[in-house]
Amino acid sequence: MSKIFSRIAGLFSNRTLVGMDKTGNRYFTRKEEIDGIVKEKRWVVFKGEQDPTSVPVEWICWLNGQRKIAPTPEEMVELEARRERIRLNVARLKEEEGKKLKEGSIRKSMSSGKVGGPDLGSFIRQFPSSAEGDKVEETSDKTDSLRQTKETPKEEEEKPVAESTEPTGSGASFKPGTWQPPT
């Protein structure tokens, strides 16, 4: 009796069935006029439990309005076949990488005679040789005093000038002022 009543009520409602996905969820649309503007409302009626994760991506795009036309059954079959091909390709690539990794580790251990462990020689080669900059030179008091006299004028120049709210200087000597909120 309720099926008959729902069919009769369905004839008078202005919702239209747009499609179904492979899990049995049904997608509807309805035109509504709000303030003289005709808007299309889209929604899904879940089969069984309301599980939003069971909605395919193409239907989510249609529900959100990113797609103007609902996905067709042919398109759904095509997309499912594409997803299956991608799954198979991923499994095949993982298998190949595993084989290459095993072959590469076996060859490396056979040629070097070592089992595991880091290659310290290649690690040390990354750094410059000690002949370039690791030499420690002794300095005399004369060079120290010269070095100190050269450094002191710079220190005097670098003394911070009292910060002002206005910018000062131009070009290379430009110093921006500090920002003050309006009062």
How confident is the model over 65-85, as pLDDT tens digits?
A: 999 999 999 999 999 999 999
Residues above pLDDT 90, as percent of the chain: 34
Whether residue 161 has pLDDT greater than 60: no
Nearest CA to 167 out of 177, 178, 157, 159 is that of 177
pLDDT digits 0-9 by tens, 39-67 = 889 999 998 888 888 899 999 999 999 99
Q: Which residues, 6+ apart, have CB-to-CB distance to 46 below 8 Å?
A: 25, 54
What residue segments make up the domains of the chain, in order of their start? Answer: 2-71, 72-113
> What confidence tier does 118 reach under pLDDT thresholds 50, 70, 90?
confident
Whether residue 107 has pLDDT greater than 90: no
Q: Which residues pair with 31 in a beta bridge?
A: 40
* Predicted pLDDT of residue 81: 96
